[in-house]
Amino acid sequence: MIIAVDGPVAAGKGTLARRIAEKYGFHYLDTGALYRAVGLLMLKEGQDLSDVEAAANMAARVGEVSPEDPGLREESTGGAASIVANNSEVRAALLQYQRNFAHRKPGTVLDGRDIGTVVCPEAEVKLFITATAEIRARRRFDELIAKGNSVSYHDILADLKIRDARDQGRTTAPLKKAIDAHLLDTSKLDIEAALNAASVLIDNRLG
């Protein structure tokens, strides 16, 4: 079984996808981390984020970045990832990796922006996780403050809206809800409630 979990930044899709994978014993892939790895490599090597060829070359090197690298979760990396994700050559370079992962047994959970629409349109369960921009910004703000960062809620909200517009407006694999995806608004849900709602859909599909 393939479970596709899509949605905008800070909607809670990553946390939910990990919990789903743990509950059902499935493999989990944070596809956003692949784009973050490309962005991080670009930043570390001082590359122009708009350089199509350089970004495509970095996409072939994502394996060099450890999933535990703290740099992957920096706000600057997230911004860089949003820019390189607009690069059709980068997306093409990472597409087959994601599709190969998706067919691991006994099942997989992939979260990102275009899993249900482009990467795995054949996924048996598709979830589109969302929340209001204000709530998503508040979650990100609280997360960063808890880590000791000095940040502004208003700056985070503004950046989040820019990233939303960029993700939704790109010509290649834009962020959008698949026609057959289940919409799950987490604005007023904690992780347990969101997991319960998702589990009902998954259990129904499993029979």
Block means of pLDDT (10 residues each) for the chain, 207 residues, are: 96 96 97 93 94 93 90 90 90 92 96 95 97 96 90 94 91 91 95 96 92
> What per-residue confidence (pLDDT) applies to 193?
97
- What's the confidence (pLDDT) of residue 35? 93
Q: If DSSP states are collapsed to H, E and C, what string results for the chain?
A: CEEEEECCCCCCHHHHHHHHHHHHCCEEEEHHHHHHHHHHHHHHCCCCCCCHHHHHHHHCCHHHCCCCCHHHHCHHHHHHHHHHCCCHHHHHHHHHHHHHHHCCCCCEEEEECCHHHHHCCCCCEEEEEECCHHHHHHHHHHHHHHCCCCCCHHHHHHHHHHHHHHHHHCCCCCCCCCCCCEEEECCCCCHHHHHHHHHHHHHHHHC
| pLDDT for the residue numbered 86 | 87
Comparing CA positions, the residue from 31, 25, 23 lying closest to residue 200 is 23
- Which CATH number applies to 2-206? 3.40.50.300
Which residue, 117, 120, 88, 86, is CA-closest to 103?
120
- The two tokens of residue 120 are 């795995």
pLDDT of residue 58: 94
**Are residues 5 and 111 in contact, defined by beta-carbon separation less than 8 angstroms?**
yes
Residue 68's pLDDT is 87
Binding-site residues for ATP sit at 7-15
Q: Which residues are annotated as a binding site?
A: 7-15
pLDDT at 136: 96
Is the separation of the CB atoms in 45 and 38 below 8 Å? no
* Token pair of 180 as six digits: 């057959």
Q: Where in the chain are the domains?
A: 2-206
**First-to-last C-alpha distance (Å) of the chain:** 12
Pairing of strands 27-30, 108-112: parallel
Nearest Cα to Cα of residue 185 among 128, 141, 139: 128
